[in-house]
């Protein structure tokens, strides 16, 4: 939809519509052609006024109507308001991007920490398993401590 603002916008919209949907393309008498153009012009003006003035009932639902309302609000803004709005939207997009990246970095860091903890637990379980086998094999606690790095208390608690 072309950018329209104020009375000049109505005129542009109407002239664009008349250019593409003109009764001139129909083979009518001059009188009927003028009458058809006036009716079309009137209908277009009425629809443009209704849309631009926001007369449509807020509860009215139709496909694309909400988007049209949002665009109407946007194009009804002054250049300064539109610029401020665009800057606000850009700031929100940047903030969402930063938060998304931080979330991904946090997840990666959490995975790395989880893997490190898992490896440490695996090593401890392996040492305990080896120490238990050594004890069952009758090896002295001093040697088990030397080979596994476990304390006497840890070995006895197995």
Per-residue pLDDT of 85-115, as tens digits, reads 999 999 999 999 999 999 999 999 999 999 9
- The length of the chain is 158
Report the alpha-carbon distance of residue 27 to residue 36 in Å, rounded.
12
CA 64, distance to chain mean position in Å, is 19
Average confidence (pLDDT) over 138-151: 89
Report the alpha-carbon distance of residue 41 to residue 37 in Å, rounded.
6
pTM to 2 decimals?
0.39
Residue 144's pLDDT band, with cuts at 50, 70 and 90, is confident
CA atoms within 13 A on the CB side of 100: 6
Residue 9, pLDDT above cutoff 60: no
3-state SS track over 25-52: HCCCCHHHHHHHHHHHHHHHHHHHHHHH
pLDDT at 4: 43
- Phi, psi torsion values for 102, nearest 5 degrees: -65, -40
């Amino acid at each position: 939809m072309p950018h329209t603002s104020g009375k000049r916008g109505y005129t542009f919209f109407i002239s664009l519509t008349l250019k593409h949907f003109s009764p001139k393309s129909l083979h009518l008498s001059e009188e009927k052609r003028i009458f058809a153009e006036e009716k079309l012009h009137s209908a277009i003006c009425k629809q443009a006024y209704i849309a631009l003035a926001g007369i449509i009932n807020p509860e009215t639902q139709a496909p694309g109507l909400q988007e049209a309302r949002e665009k109407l609000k946007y194009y009804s803004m002054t250049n300064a308001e539109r610029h401020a709005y665009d800057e606000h939207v850009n700031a929100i997009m940047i903030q969402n991007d930063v938060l998304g990246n931080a979330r991904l970095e946090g997840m990666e860091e959490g995975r790395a920490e989880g893997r490190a903890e898992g490896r440490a637990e695996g090593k401890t379980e392996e040492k305990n398993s080896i120490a238990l086998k050594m004890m069952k094999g009758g090896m002295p606690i001093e040697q088990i401590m030397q080979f596994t790095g476990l304390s006497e208390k840890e070995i006895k608690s197995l």
